[in-house]
Structure 1
Amino acid sequence: MYSQYGLFIDGSWTFGSKSGEVTSPVNEKPLGHVPLATIDDTQAALDAAANALPKLLQMGGFARADALHRAADEMIRRTDEAARMIAAETGKPIAQAGREWSLACDQFRWFGEEARRIYGRIVESRVPNGRFEVTREPVGIVGAFTAWNFPAALPARKLAPALAAGCSVVLRPSSQTPGVAMVMVDCLRAAGLPDGAVNLVVGSTADTYARIMADTRVRKVSLTGSTRVGQQMIRDAAETVKKVSMELGGNAPLIIHDDADLDAALDLTVPTKFANCGQVCVSPDRIFVHETLHDAFVEGFIARASKIKLGDGLHPETEMGPLINASRLTEIEGIVIGAVRAGAQIAFGGKRPAHLNSGYFFEPTVLTDVTDDMKVFAEENFGPIAAITRFSSEDEALARANASDMGLAAYSFTRSPDRARRMAAGLKAGMVGINSFALAAAEAPFGGTKHSGMGREGGIEGIEDYLDTKLAQFVF
């Protein structure tokens, strides 16, 4: 499955001296073996990235744009290969995998255009016959670290803006889902970027992350991962004063107001909650339903959840796949058990499916009588658990929704334009969806506040963290 790829260093695929096994979350069997980088491999990737910087700068924005569009063309041509790789490694349904790859393609299209629009400006000087000139320059080498839950979208959100800005990149994808990042990097290779512009290493923290973070030539690091890992990266980046941007955990509230369109809310919420088996950082975790709609909402939620087909993501009829690994399955089981012990009720699901004897499957689960202090509500569950509670007033819902250290996404369903505006203004999150969960788009800034991270990916804001601002004063 990985035989034509490996580590990508200085424009070539290499297989290194060590390897690791990638396991299917569907059947717990090996998918294949991938090379693991040594410290020397990571050092070679960093050296290659350093050598590529002047070549990328010399290309200019228009030539870099053309290369990113060629990469997108190649990615589109290889959609079937990439979607099957995503589905095999993560277990997510093939249709969801295809949409994710399409979102990744969009990143290269969008930032290909942004490469042509790296603007500066002229500022009048107080010095006679003088002027200020403000320009934007690439920050330098970028270390990019991505998680397993969106193995195509997450690398694309980092590679596309970095390359558009003229930065070289050392990408370290998750060792649980490295294959689709390899396909993406191979598309960039085919696009004709300079050798060393993109490098890929897979391996242990000591052999990859530590070496990247210690290198003073790496001027920017970008992470998608847990808050705990993000906190450690901030500490490590301080040693060499690197720029840091990161998208971390979420614990998104969803408020269903008394004037919401109930059927529309349910039709959108159920597939969103159980997409990728709930392993989505912007998934609605804390569901607040007005007391007048609560029972009908729960009934409708269960009716829809009960129809979800579990199975192998490579099978076209599958609507929900497994959790990523055994530890996640154990964690989800523990969260449900803990919630029940604390007084929550299992309205639907709550266990491993009886008809699936292998893999890390867990039923779509609905919990009611949930209180705000329960772990399932107070922390991101990152699984197929819909935790539902009641509220009485708009002010109460808003206060409870904001009572979290996380601030990635938040959602509200209402028919009232005035209330919609109040929710958009009052919810403390980097992204707010009103009657919608569609937040991830290349043209829109994606990111959070508080413990959910810093910086933005996507939109015109997405390239900012990969650029330094330079001021020059000219006097003639």
Structure 2
Amino acid sequence: MFRNSNTLRTLNLLRKMSSKIENDYLIQTKAFINGKWTETDDKFAVTNPSTGDTIREVTNCGVSDFNKAIEIAHDAFGTFRQTNVRERAQILDNIYNLMLENKQDLAKILTLENGKPYKDSLGEIVYSAMFFKWFAEEAPRIYGDIIPSAVSSDQKIFTIRQPLGVIGILTPWNFPSAMIARKLAPVIATGNTCVIKPAHETPLSALALGVIAEKAGLPAGVCNILPTNHTSEIGEYVCEHELVKKITFTGSTKIGQLLMGQSSKGKNIKKFSMELGGNAPYIVFKDADLDRALDGIIGCKFRQSGQTCICANRIFVHEDLYDEFSKRLVDKIDKTFKLGDGFQDGVTHGPLIHDKSIDKVASLVQDAKTKGADVLIGGSRASSLGPLFYQPTVLGNVTESMDIFYEEIFGPVAPLIKFKDVDEVIKRANDTDVGLAGYFYSQNISTIFDAAEKLNVGMVGVNTGEISEPAVPFGGVKNSGLGKEGSKYGIDDYTELKAIIVAP
């Protein structure tokens, strides 16, 4: 039985979507454990944030299910770690090709459960696939070193990289395909195995990847995907489980700290990869190319309706450019943005994911207004479209007295802040306990190198708002996390470096 009260509307939605999705076997509702699709009596509803309709009821896994999956992954590790690197590379390449072959269907599933416009979902699927291609090419290149001994010319030292074992993968709802791909691809490349807990808001994209992995020839037990809405309980259990050797998590700093604390209660010390919260500065210097800076902010701030960890969160504009920049930004939003359901023609921005998200955005905007910020466009809910829609918003004259200066917004709100000189704005930009990404626009070579080095973030976009791709070592500093994902460095966090010393 569907738990949504409007059963007829839901059934009509499913019939409509089944006609749109060519390969409806990609819509799975069971858990993927040991290469088999299994279900429990307990279920939870997955809803479309644009409409509130139930899409499917999905198996609700508990502690016993996760324990079984972890033990299976542990057993599978003994065999999979011995797999030839070229075999693992071929599996990854197969996943890449299958994702591209099914990209339209995968994007439709993503839009259904996440709400982002179909065009954006299609972009995410292609982006996700690229990680499998990247690590297909990196799998045969897990190198060690030969190190000259400091003690004896006869003694030989060399290093090798070995897989860790079972990896616990905990992912968010905002990029339900890409965040799994960025973690699963290096797991396979390095010969590890994994248990994945996708966000309960968006499990269908994760389960669709399970279908793809199965068809790609991934051996049973290597990748196990268990949907659940017992989020806190399962997160704690996976972190404490002695067979889990590493946790990789994308989400808030608060939850990341909680998971690390829970892990310390277990019997073994785990490796961690954490991609946590951000408060990205976006700086438009006096000599910036204003057209490029405006184009950049549209994607960097408003992509996924502002629900990305690397979104521009504080937009610093030089006082000489402030009036023109703010006017042109408002004009662009007014003329080019269309809010609505992600499947509707022309829609550029969708809803927020749930009530807590939109309540937080509304509270931050209200606080800023109360403390003197100007609403240049938007500034309120778009309730006529549905309870989770918020108008794309630009706030002028934002200052440090406002909560929005320090808190990650995760919504379609652009706070504009005036500044005078380079040293001042760098100091203000760094005035936060997180440091994931930062952006700035300048045509002065001295300013470029100076600002790039002084911004206390893990990734810097110079004259671009596009900084995420498989070749980039993705990760932050301070309370924005640990480790790097993607790039040639992405292998390191999924392996253990072993030193071997050979005496004559």
Q: TM-score, normalised by structure 2?
A: 0.92
Cα distance in 1, alignment partners of residues 348 and 35 from structure 2:
38
1:180 aligns with 2:205: yes
Question: Residue 95 of structure 2 aligns with which residue?
Answer: 71
Give, in angstroms, the shift of residue 31 of structure 1.
Answer: 1.4
Q: CA contact under 8 A between 2:379 and 2:391: conserved in structure 1?
A: yes
Cα distance in 2, alignment partners of residues 407 and 264 from structure 1:
24
1:27 aligns with 2:51: yes
Cα distance in 2, alignment partners of residues 316 and 462 from structure 1:
38
Question: Residue 309 of structure 1 aligns with which residue?
Answer: 338
Question: Residue 231 of structure 2 aligns with which residue?
Answer: 205
| Partner amino acid, structure 2, of 1:340 | K
Q: Find the residue that maps to 1:314 and give its secondary structure.
A: coil
Question: Residue 169 of structure 1 aligns with which residue?
Answer: 194
1:141 aligns with 2:160: no
| Partner amino acid, structure 2, of 1:252 | A
Residues 3 and 402 of structure 1, relative CA distance in 2, 3 Å threshold: closer
Question: Residue 215 of structure 1 aligns with which residue?
Answer: 241
| Partner amino acid, structure 1, of 2:319 | E
Cα distance in 1, alignment partners of residues 330 and 223 from structure 2:
46
Cα distance in 2, alignment partners of residues 207 and 374 from structure 1:
35
Question: Residue 235 of structure 1 aligns with which residue?
Answer: 261
Question: Residue 463 of structure 1 aligns with which residue?
Answer: 491
Residues 416 and 129 of structure 1, relative CA distance in 2, 3 Å threshold: closer
1:450 aligns with 2:474: no
CA-to-partner distance for each residue in 1:327-380, whole Å, 9 max, x for gaps?
A: 211111111111111111111101122642x24100000101210231111111
Question: Residue 144 of structure 2 aligns with which residue?
Answer: 120
- Residue of structure 1 aligned with 2:308, choices 276, 280, 289: 280
- Residue of structure 1 aligned with 2:379, choices 350, 361, 378: 350
- Residue of structure 2 aligned with 1:337, choices 351, 366, 391: 366
Cα distance in 2, alignment partners of residues 451 and 214 from structure 1:
22
Cα distance in 2, alignment partners of residues 184 and 83 from structure 1:
12
**Larger relative contact order (Cα-Cα within 8 Å, sequence gap ≥ 6):** 1
Q: CA contact under 8 A between 1:447 and 1:456: conserved in structure 2?
A: yes
CA-to-partner distance for each residue in 1:174-207, whole Å, 9 max, x for gaps?
A: 0001111111121111111221000011221355
Percentage of pairs with the same residue: 37
- Residue of structure 1 aligned with 2:432, choices 397, 404, 411: 404
Cα distance in 2, alignment partners of residues 245 and 448 from structure 1:
11
User: Any stretches of 5+ residues in structure 1 without a counterpart?
Assistant: none
Q: CA contact under 8 A between 2:383 and 2:389: conserved in structure 1?
A: no
Give, in angstroms, the shift of residue 305 of structure 1.
Answer: 1.0
Cα distance in 2, alignment partners of residues 259 and 470 from structure 1:
50
Q: CA contact under 8 A between 1:93 and 1:316: conserved in structure 2?
A: no
Q: CA contact under 8 A between 1:135 and 1:469: conserved in structure 2?
A: yes
Q: Find the residue that maps to 1:352 and give its secondary structure.
A: coil
Q: CA contact under 8 A between 1:168 and 1:196: conserved in structure 2?
A: yes
Cα distance in 2, alignment partners of residues 373 and 8 from structure 1:
49
Cα distance in 2, alignment partners of residues 63 and 379 from structure 1:
45
- Residue of structure 2 aligned with 1:298, choices 326, 344, 348: 326
Q: TM-score, normalised by structure 1?
A: 0.97
Give, in angstroms, the shift of residue 123 of structure 1.
Answer: 3.0
CA-to-partner distance for each residue in 1:308-338, whole Å, 9 max, x for gaps?
A: 0011112241100010012211111111111
| Partner amino acid, structure 1, of 2:356 | S
Give, in angstroms, the shift of residue 475 of structure 1.
Answer: 3.5
Cα distance in 1, alignment partners of residues 383 and 33 from structure 2:
45
Cα distance in 2, alignment partners of residues 39 and 214 from structure 1:
12
| Partner amino acid, structure 1, of 2:34 | D
Cα distance in 2, alignment partners of residues 3 and 413 from structure 1:
43
Cα distance in 1, alignment partners of residues 454 and 348 from structure 2:
34
**Alignment coverage as a number of residue pairs:** 475
1:16 aligns with 2:16: no
1:379 aligns with 2:407: yes
Map 1:256-267 → 2, pairs under 5 A: 256-267=284-295
Q: Find the residue that maps to 1:219 and give its secondary structure.
A: strand
Q: Find the residue that maps to 1:58 and give its secondary structure.
A: coil
Cα distance in 2, alignment partners of residues 166 and 154 from structure 1:
19
Give, in angstroms, the shift of residue 163 of structure 1.
Answer: 1.2
Q: Find the residue that maps to 1:26 and give its secondary structure.
A: coil
Q: CA contact under 8 A between 1:201 and 1:208: conserved in structure 2?
A: no
